[in-house]
Amino acid sequence: MSAAAENIAHAMSRLALYWRAAGWRAAGAQGLTPTQAEILSQLAAGPLRSGDLARGLGVSAPTLTDAVSTLAAKGLVERRPDPQDRRAARVALTPQGAGAEARLPDMPEAIAPVLDGLSEPDRAGLLRGLTLVIRGLQEAGAIPVQRMCLTCRHFRPHAHDDAARPHHCAFVDAAFGDAALRLACADHGEAAEEERALALARFAAVA
Ligand code: SF4
């Protein structure tokens, strides 16, 4: 590993420690475990099957089942029939669960002013780099696949000559820049493996 890569890994580890501790505090303030809080956050975009929830959280099926059962006993989630499969069910937020989710902070309080204080090029560069790191970890099977631009069939990297907004989202038919790359997009559509590889190669090749 290069010295630069080692420094980045160290910085990420420091951030992860801070993020985890803040997450524990925020979830605990609502009487939730971090896993339960994360389930509420994942369901904010809509009901999900248990398998998709477990994959998104990177937890085992029994861990997910326990957490969902506890949340259901608290009246925060419920199981609903899956409209696409009569034998399956989806987990959904109840109105109380939606209220609890809305009270959970999106991020540690101190981070927003720090990120807002970065210059636009620094923010765009950071997001671009993080997007590539996350995609690499997904490729390695180390973390679950996210609903991110780099895995989306609507993503057209470097489709425009405009340096500020080189990418194109075919879903909303609009150009956008690195600073607007999405990591959890509700409109995401999973691209085929070959499409994903081509998009990654094109995105990574042009700095
Ligand atoms: S639909 Fe969302 S994830 Fe897909 S390219 Fe557009 S912004 Fe990115």
pTM (whole model) above 0.85: no
The strand order across the sheet containing 48-49 reads 48-49, 85-93, 77-82
Q: Are 166 and 158 in contact (CB under 8 A)?
A: yes
pLDDT (tens digit per residue) in 49-99: 988 888 888 888 899 999 999 999 999 999 998 888 888 889 999 999 999
Burial class for 32, CB neighbours closer than 10 Å (0-12, 13-18, 19+): buried
Mutation probe of ligand 1 site: the residue of 169, 181, 183 with most atoms within 8 A of C-beta? 169
Task: Kindly report, as residue ranges, where domains of CATH 1.10.10.10 are found in the chain.
Answer: 3-103
Fold of the CATH domain 3-103: Arc Repressor Mutant, subunit A (1.10.10)
Distance (angstroms) between ligand 1 centre and the Cα of 191 equals: 11
Give, using CA atoms, the residue closest to atom 6 of ligand 1: 169
User: What's the rounded Cα separation, in Å, for the pair 205 and 207?
Assistant: 6
- Digit-by-digit pLDDT tens for the chain (207 residues) are 899 999 999 999 999 999 989 989 999 999 999 999 999 998 998 899 988 888 888 888 899 999 999 999 999 999 998 888 888 889 999 999 999 999 999 888 899 999 999 999 999 999 999 999 988 888 888 887 778 999 999 999 999 999 889 999 999 999 999 989 998 888 889 899 899 999 999 998 876
Distance between start and end Cα atoms, the chain: 22
Instruction: Give me the count of residues in the chain.
Output: 207
**Is the CB of residue 169 below 6 angstroms from any atom belonging to ligand 1?**
yes
Ordered alpha helix ranges (H), 30-60: 34-43, 50-57
**Ligand 1 atom at shortest distance from the alpha carbon of 180:** 7
